[in-house]
Structure 1
Amino acid sequence: MIKKILVLGTLAVFSVGCKTSQLPEPAPKPEKKKSSLKDYSSIITSEAKSDDGLFTTHFVDDKLYFEIPVEHFEKDMLLVSRIAGIPSGFGGGYVNAGSKVNEQVVRWVKRDGNVDMKVISFENQSDENSPIYKSVQANNFFPILYSTKIEAWSKDSSSVVIEAGPLFETEVNAINGISSRLRKQYKVKKLDKSRSYIESARSFPKNIEIKHVMTYEAETPPERDQAGTISMLLNQSMILLPENRMQPRLADVRVGWFTIEKYNYDSEELKADNYKIIRRWKLIPKDIEAYKRGELVEPVEPIVYYLDPATPEKWRPYFRKGIEDWNVAFEKAGFKNAIIAKDPPTKEEDPEFSPEDVRYSVVRYVASTTRNAMGPSVTDPRTGEIIESDIIWYHNHLRSYRNRFMIEAGAQNPNARTLNTPEAEIGEMMRMVIAHEVGHALGLPHNMKASSAYPTDSLRSADFTQKYGLTPSIMDYARVNYVAQPEDKGVRYIRMMGPYDLYAINWGYRYLPEANSPLEEKSTLDKWILEKAGDPVYEFGDGYSGADPQSQRESLGDDQVKASEYGIKNLKKVVPQLVEWTSRDGYGYEELDEVYRELQYMWRGYISHVITNVGGIYETRKTADQGGSVYEPVPKNIQKQAVSFLNKEAFTTPQWMLDENLLGKIESTKVVDRIQSLQTRALENLLNKDRLKRMVNNEESNTKESYAVVEMMRDLRKGIFKELYTSKQTDAFRRNLQRSYVDIAASYLEELENGKDREILKSDIMPLMRGELSHLKKDLNGRKYNIRHALTRYHWEDLVARIDAVLLMNPS
């Protein structure tokens, strides 16, 4: 468009030369307009603190100015908003320093004596020469994020000076650190400008970094001692996007990649054709002919990660290995030395080195109590090219892996039986966490389905685990081998990279020199997928549906019931040893309390892995040219086996968890409530409305082979109320569980009264729960006098009263 305007301008000049007398007075020259502005030196005084780079930033007193080169107007820039510092308790622990708030493309546009910053979208696309192009433009008008007047021109007229401070000192929703949900939760009133300010502004050759403090008045801040105030430090990165655009690669649901969605209005389809492209680094071989011959070739620009100068020396070798482990995968894609880990340069080696500089990707070591690690990246939304990424390792994540290793491997591995995990083991765990996060930064999402490719009992084999690891993908959540038993010698306990990772990197990164468009690549990419079709090692599942038992976080092996049996068997051996393993002379039992609580969390996870089989659906991602179904219900025998396991392990009082020696050191009276909470959560999960509806649907579509929902409820009732059917007394734990069963069933019927969930009102869940409660009431009335234990009889009479109350309030 700019070129077209220049051409028209040139034609106008030639026209002036031919017919001077017929033209109106010439427009004022730009210099005259500029002369009415302030002089550059009166704005950018000798007291200014300036930093040269993409734009020159100037601090004059308390004002921030941008000096924008004219050549950078209309250029695409990525504005990335992150939280750099947050108050304690913010977001309930789910928001950390480093969390991304927003990512959007902006352009700085000169408009007469003003400069606008517009937000640009590349989601809807059409060729400029297409008739529909004008309509696409008209119906996707770009909003103005910030507008300000030009304060001055530079002395050589190559740049303009604007005041940029108000963009970062006032509340702009697009770069705001507090979401609407948190704003409502904390009852945020307003931004206090007197306590909001710009902390720093740095300019680099390809990006600008602004840190600014935002202070809000809030009625209910995250912590009481915050005095009605929420202050947070935000970091705004403005990054110049490449002029030479990378060729995008079309995504495919059968291979896991982070993606960007697009809509093509030039499509021949009778709709706007939506498609996705993958996010990846731009890797081009130095010697394309050698690459074509199948030789390993270095890329023109390798992916380089620098270690944070704050990284402790003893952990640096493990971090470097975790980064460069991916070279094995890139070799599968034809590249050697594609990814390189470097120590941070000294001041002498690179005086301008900064982790904030977009030219440097850094593995940051953050001194924080946060127990996490992240692998975010910055992506060009036009093409999917990853521009830069910073892996974040929070120091206290060591604690997570120390605890998990003790809990899940303590029964089998002597090295796990200490709070001071040996360096070899904790270092290997750190290495694999870094490799996992680098995988995200390369474009790979979690593949929760990978672990189900391996037979569960293979994880007890030294030969198998040392060769293949715990799962085909490092991108799965499968951190510690909890399946292995104490008698299994030489097994691997820590995850590692697997064959799926090599396959995915080859699929996403192999350079296809003969293909001149994304569509020309597709047949080759499809061929690679079909070559692996039917092999579970190369299947992908993100685990988000919650319905596929083969696609779950922290699950190991293809048989979730057997894996959970092994896992709980190990937990039972660990509990009696925790006091010894976590105690230190002169210290209390805080570590014991923490590890014991996390052990219960692990137990809950094992139970959940089994529950997912009930009403579960196997998903195998396919395209229309592949035979067979995408969705298949879990076989009836597996679902019945799962409920049998639950009655035995989840809905029977876990006496092994109630170690008196342990509990006597960490609590006084909460043990009954603790077990009730665990069992009630499991029961609520099992009786989840979506699960029950799937069971009804499966029964209708496959009557003979399905596990009927009525049969499941009968099996469950016989387990939870086994004392009723065997005339035995109940203890406090069992009474709590039985009350939870009645309460959960009753909660569905109560929807008749409040009518909020119309989905339940119209489903078979209502008559199912009414029938179950009526059946249970009949059994309670017929058997409650068979027991002499008074509290048990009172308990059953109370259940009858509860059932009567809900049935009376909600008659059929």
Structure 2
Amino acid sequence: MKKVLLALLLTLPIILPAQKKKKSDEPAPQKLASSIDEKTGDLKKYPGYIEFYYDERQDRVWLLIDKFNTELLYIESLTAGVGSNDIGLDRNQLGRERIVYFEKRGSKVLLVEPNNFYRAISNSQAERRAVKESFAESVLWGFTVAAEDNGKVLVDATDFFIQDVHDVAGTLRATQQGGYGLDKSRSAFYPERIRNFPLNSEFEVTLTFTGQPSGSYIRSVTPTPTSVTIREHFSFVQLPDSNYKPRKFDPRAGYFNTSYYDYATPISEPIEKRFINRHRLEKKDPSVAVSEPVKPIIYYMDPGAPEPIRSALMDGAKWWNQAFEAAGYKNAFVVELLPEDADPMDVRYNVINWVHRATRGWSYGASVTDPRTGEIIKGHVTLGSLRVRQDFLIAEGLLAPYEEGKPVSKAMEEMALARLRQLAAHEIGHTLGLAHAYTSSTENLASVMDYPHPIAKVVNGKVDLSNAYDDKIGAFDKVSITYGYQDFPEGVDEDKALDAIIQNSLKAGLTFLSDQDARPTGGAHPYAHLWDNGADATNELNRVMEVRSIALKNFGERNIKPHTPMATLEEVLVPIYFFHRYQVESAVKVLGGINYRYALRGDGQPVAELLTPEQQAKALAALLKTVEPGALILPESLLVNIPPRPIGYQRHRELIKLKTGLTFDPLSLAETSADMTYSLILHPARANRLVEHHARNINQPSLESVLDKLIAHSFKAAPKSGQEGAIQMSIDGALFSNLAKLAASNNASLQTRAITLLKLEQLKGWLKQRSPVTTNEEWKAFYVYIASLIEKLQEKPEEFKADYPLESPPGMPIGDTDMDFCGH
């Protein structure tokens, strides 16, 4: 029994008397300063929208927050960039704008970003709460309260600002420039750009990223590429008042849009709401046809742009007054020089920025927009400075202007400045809310929101550039501005009035199609193109080829200045040799094309019409002319004048790729040009459409017929000798590479791959019949080699790799452009 009791005692828990916790073991309560004044007494004070203090000795910023649960706009941007178009981190580059609010939770203040994409526009608090709790919000930061007094709290915001919100490190990684991280020991506030105003507070920091560079772009633009130092900017801005009235989005009007889902919408109506993006503009007297505005839209020019460039840009910007006058305004759009003491990132200024990069690149039209309504708060244009030099280079190539004993013509500078006027108008158009309008070039240059190619004409056997670019706002621009900014008198039915604006535009023959319709690779529209001219893409291609032929015929030492290395002829030659590239991209879209619009039910626009067989046959014939040896060969008189590069003049991206070592390579040049045409004709989407359209209508051209014409025009054409024969083989090689690529493409349909493989089998049979009877050893070798490649493709298609042509030098931007969002 004793043993049992002992066992029970051993299994029972031992309960000790509770020990009183020592005061020193408890977490110490956070000690707040007795008052905000005590904490900030000797710090530099910045009164304004959100009052803050700067501790110069410790390099710290303290925010005094008294606006809790009040929405405001938080904007981040990049003010001092990297200088590489390929990396894409430019001076004065806008980042994201977000609606946020401060919320106090105990000893913390949270910076909360509500989810405005999902809403319930309702008087019912329960409905609003149901949506709010159904979708995630984002808490962007948590601040610790350091002092508190009468409903105001003081927080240390240093770490919030000394962070990489613009994701510079991520961009460097994504562009394969290396793994970089923020080094806070080499980062600090930038006091001269820290400011406060009644409606906005501005902060700026210098950030240094350290790492090992792995890309050539970052090495080329950074003095010590293991240490990349930039500046980022932060703004807190009071949101606009509720007096702005959003305007409905219509896909035919030419605008970008702001959209959100309203879960309080009746089930009979669309849940997604769309409104155009635009500035706030009101007439002083809406009842009269023409009125001055209550407040004009003012844009400020970056004084960093030199003359005569600055004046050209300001002139182009002022074109928009023509559109606002058509919408019933007087003096509504003003362009001035940015004041010396103004900050270009200050949300109060619409700014036209002049930005430098190591290589030519895009220009942009961006904006800060109220996510709730689509109201544009700040227009922000970024213009790449090398744009003007590219146009000047194109003019040098077309005009051959440097004649001994004669003054140099002003035509080149005039053309380049004319393009800058158009460029300024284009990018500002984006910041007014307008999207690209790519049918306008076929409608008598109806919009500056198209991408314009220089119009070169042949006059008396010479190239003329006197009207290379338009000098005014377009007819469709006036329609768009009227739709977006017209201030209707009281009593007018706005929906009916807006629809009437569009219907009148359609009756005038003006249309609108944008980015997705204009891209050349998969595009199918016969009128919406990039960098084209003329009402008919095929006719314009034939005309451009004539201009190109004359320019190449006259090409020689007069295309470069005296005492310039002869090797630099190549820089001028490249844009002229490829002068037709964008018109090829336009004409190829006629093949397997569809004529359509952003049609609404009952508006009378074409919906989806197949193009006629005659249109497509005409386009194919013009395209085949671009891959004839006579079009791609360069004269011997020119080739003997392009030597290898001298010391101090290294090869660079704007020159052609070579297979000949140091010497100029005319065969690879021709192969590259032919590849540009063939790769577009044989794009999988286009080939698939040919199959589909022929199945729907037997009169439509079939893929078989197109491939037969390509092969007949190249491989089966009479073989030529000498340099022209070598060019012919280069062209044929480019065709085979693209046929092989199409046959193996995962994006090609089953029928497309089958037809392409059949045509390659037939070509192989022809080559094998041809090679034994060919006496020319070079052609015999070529026929045998291509036949062997087809056999390899047939045997192991998954392992086959063709000898693809070398890449062409950069095209877009032709002097500056694309990613659009809004790049040009």
Q: TM-score range by the shorter chain?
A: 0.7 to 0.9
Aligned to 2:367: 377
Per the TM alignment, residue 609 of structure 1 is displaced from its structure 2 partner at its CA by 2.0
Per the TM alignment, residue 50 of structure 1 is displaced from its structure 2 partner at its CA by 4.0
**Cα distance in 2 for residues equivalent to 1:796 and 1:448:** 43
Q: Does 1:514 align with 2:490?
A: yes
Aligned to 2:614: 637
Q: Per the alignment, in what secondary structure is the counterpart of residue 533 of structure 1?
A: helix
Equivalent AA in structure 1 for residue 486 of structure 2: R
Deviations 1:270-310 (A, max 9, x none): 686223211111011112xxx3232x111111001222233
Aligned to 2:265: 267
Aligned to 1:435: 425
Does the CA contact (< 8 Å) of 1:402 and 1:419 recur in 2? no
Structure 2: where are the runs of 5+ without partners? 1-28, 645-662, 799-824
Aligned to 2:647: none
**Cα distance in 1 for residues equivalent to 2:558 and 2:70:** 60
Aligned to 2:241: 243
Per the TM alignment, residue 775 of structure 1 is displaced from its structure 2 partner at its CA by 0.8
Deviations 1:641-679 (A, max 9, x none): 222222222343534545643663254242222222222
Match of 1:802 among 779, 782, 789: 789
Deviations 1:289-337 (A, max 9, x none): xx3232x111111001222233435444433322222112111111110
**Cα distance in 2 for residues equivalent to 1:609 and 1:392:** 27
Aligned to 1:143: 138
Q: Per the alignment, in what secondary structure is the counterpart of residue 488 of structure 2?
A: coil
Match of 1:693 among 658, 663, 688: 688
Q: How do 1:11-90 and structure 2 match up within 5 A?
A: 36-37=32-33, 39-46=35-42, 48-60=43-55, 61-70=57-66, 72-87=67-82, 89=84
Aligned to 1:573: 550
Per the TM alignment, residue 368 of structure 1 is displaced from its structure 2 partner at its CA by 4.6
Per the TM alignment, residue 56 of structure 1 is displaced from its structure 2 partner at its CA by 3.1
Per the TM alignment, residue 41 of structure 1 is displaced from its structure 2 partner at its CA by 4.5
The 1:803–1:124 alpha-carbon spacing in structure 2 relative to 1, beyond 3 Å, is same
Aligned to 1:450: 440
Match of 1:366 among 351, 355, 362: 355
Per the TM alignment, residue 107 of structure 1 is displaced from its structure 2 partner at its CA by 1.8
Q: Normalising to structure 1: TM-score of the pair?
A: 0.83
Deviations 1:528-560 (A, max 9, x none): 212332543343443445221311111111211
Deviations 1:478-530 (A, max 9, x none): 142135655798973212321111111101110124379xxx63232122212
Alignment RMSD: 3.2
Does the CA contact (< 8 Å) of 1:723 and 1:729 recur in 2? no
Q: Does 1:722 align with 2:696?
A: no
**Cα distance in 2 for residues equivalent to 1:591 and 1:682:** 27
**Cα distance in 2 for residues equivalent to 1:315 and 1:783:** 60
Does the CA contact (< 8 Å) of 1:728 and 1:787 recur in 2? no
Equivalent AA in structure 2 for residue 37 of structure 1: A
Equivalent AA in structure 2 for residue 186 of structure 1: Q
The 1:77–1:554 alpha-carbon spacing in structure 2 relative to 1, beyond 3 Å, is same
User: How many percent identity over aligned positions?
Assistant: 22
**Cα distance in 2 for residues equivalent to 1:689 and 1:778:** 25
Does the CA contact (< 8 Å) of 1:80 and 1:237 recur in 2? yes
Q: Does 1:501 align with 2:477?
A: yes
The 1:216–1:238 alpha-carbon spacing in structure 2 relative to 1, beyond 3 Å, is farther
Does the CA contact (< 8 Å) of 1:256 and 1:445 recur in 2? yes
Q: Considering Cα pairs closer than 8 Å and 6+ residues apart, tell me whether 1 or 2 has the greater RCO.
A: 2
The 1:578–1:254 alpha-carbon spacing in structure 2 relative to 1, beyond 3 Å, is same
Q: Per the alignment, in what secondary structure is the counterpart of residue 764 of structure 1?
A: helix
Q: Does 1:400 align with 2:390?
A: yes
Aligned to 2:278: 280
Deviations 1:734-766 (A, max 9, x none): 223323322332234446xxxxx3x43x52121
The 1:419–1:385 alpha-carbon spacing in structure 2 relative to 1, beyond 3 Å, is farther
Equivalent AA in structure 1 for residue 162 of structure 2: E
Does the CA contact (< 8 Å) of 2:59 and 2:188 recur in 1? no
The 1:229–1:687 alpha-carbon spacing in structure 2 relative to 1, beyond 3 Å, is farther
Aligned to 1:536: 509
Q: Per the alignment, in what secondary structure is the counterpart of residue 782 of structure 1?
A: helix
Q: Per the alignment, in what secondary structure is the counterpart of residue 376 of structure 1?
A: strand
Q: Does 1:524 align with 2:520?
A: no
**Cα distance in 1 for residues equivalent to 2:559 and 2:465:** 25
**Cα distance in 1 for residues equivalent to 2:739 and 2:136:** 52
Per the TM alignment, residue 807 of structure 1 is displaced from its structure 2 partner at its CA by 1.2
Q: How do 1:597-608 and structure 2 match up within 5 A?
A: 597-608=574-585
Q: Does 1:356 align with 2:332?
A: no
The 1:657–1:52 alpha-carbon spacing in structure 2 relative to 1, beyond 3 Å, is farther
Does the CA contact (< 8 Å) of 2:110 and 2:141 recur in 1? yes
Q: How do 1:369-768 and structure 2 match up within 5 A?
A: 369=358, 371=360, 372-407=362-397, 421=411, 424-454=414-444, 471-483=445-457, 485-486=459-460, 492-495=467-470, 496-514=472-490, 521-533=494-506, 535-542=508-515, 543-544=517-518, 546-589=523-566, 592-627=569-604, 629-652=606-629, 654-655=631-632, 657-658=634-635, 660-661=637-638, 664-665=641-642, 667=644, 668-704=663-699, 706-723=700-717, 731-750=725-744, 757=746, 759-760=747-748, 762-768=749-755
**Cα distance in 1 for residues equivalent to 2:349 and 2:480:** 25
Does the CA contact (< 8 Å) of 2:352 and 2:381 recur in 1? yes
Per the TM alignment, residue 474 of structure 1 is displaced from its structure 2 partner at its CA by 1.1
Q: Per the alignment, in what secondary structure is the counterpart of residue 292 of structure 1?
A: coil
**Cα distance in 1 for residues equivalent to 2:203 and 2:797:** 60
Equivalent AA in structure 1 for residue 757 of structure 2: R
Per the TM alignment, residue 791 of structure 1 is displaced from its structure 2 partner at its CA by 1.2
Per the TM alignment, residue 238 of structure 1 is displaced from its structure 2 partner at its CA by 3.0
The 1:714–1:534 alpha-carbon spacing in structure 2 relative to 1, beyond 3 Å, is farther
Q: Does 1:167 align with 2:165?
A: no
Q: Per the alignment, in what secondary structure is the counterpart of residue 74 of structure 1?
A: coil
The 1:541–1:749 alpha-carbon spacing in structure 2 relative to 1, beyond 3 Å, is closer
Aligned to 2:324: 330
The 1:553–1:217 alpha-carbon spacing in structure 2 relative to 1, beyond 3 Å, is same
Per the TM alignment, residue 797 of structure 1 is displaced from its structure 2 partner at its CA by 0.7
Per the TM alignment, residue 692 of structure 1 is displaced from its structure 2 partner at its CA by 0.6
Does the CA contact (< 8 Å) of 1:418 and 1:581 recur in 2? no
Q: Does 1:298 align with 2:296?
A: no
Does the CA contact (< 8 Å) of 2:326 and 2:482 recur in 1? yes
Q: How do 1:785-796 and structure 2 match up within 5 A?
A: 785-796=772-783
**Cα distance in 1 for residues equivalent to 2:513 and 2:219:** 45
The 1:341–1:730 alpha-carbon spacing in structure 2 relative to 1, beyond 3 Å, is closer
**Cα distance in 1 for residues equivalent to 2:370 and 2:75:** 11
Aligned to 2:6: none
**Cα distance in 2 for residues equivalent to 1:539 and 1:397:** 26
Does the CA contact (< 8 Å) of 1:653 and 1:734 recur in 2? no
The alignment of Structure 1 onto Structure 2 pairs a total of residues equal to 732
Q: Per the alignment, in what secondary structure is the counterpart of residue 99 of structure 2?
A: strand
Does the CA contact (< 8 Å) of 1:369 and 1:394 recur in 2? no
Does the CA contact (< 8 Å) of 2:72 and 2:99 recur in 1? yes
Per the TM alignment, residue 566 of structure 1 is displaced from its structure 2 partner at its CA by 1.4
Does the CA contact (< 8 Å) of 1:210 and 1:236 recur in 2? yes
Per the TM alignment, residue 178 of structure 1 is displaced from its structure 2 partner at its CA by 4.3
The 1:343–1:273 alpha-carbon spacing in structure 2 relative to 1, beyond 3 Å, is same
Q: Per the alignment, in what secondary structure is the counterpart of residue 654 of structure 1?
A: helix
Q: Normalising to structure 2: TM-score of the pair?
A: 0.82
Does the CA contact (< 8 Å) of 2:418 and 2:469 recur in 1? yes
Give the structure with the higher percent helix: 1
Q: Per the alignment, in what secondary structure is the counterpart of residue 68 of structure 1?
A: strand
Per the TM alignment, residue 682 of structure 1 is displaced from its structure 2 partner at its CA by 2.2
Deviations 1:121-160 (A, max 9, x none): 3222212424532221112232100111122246xx4743
The 1:45–1:207 alpha-carbon spacing in structure 2 relative to 1, beyond 3 Å, is same
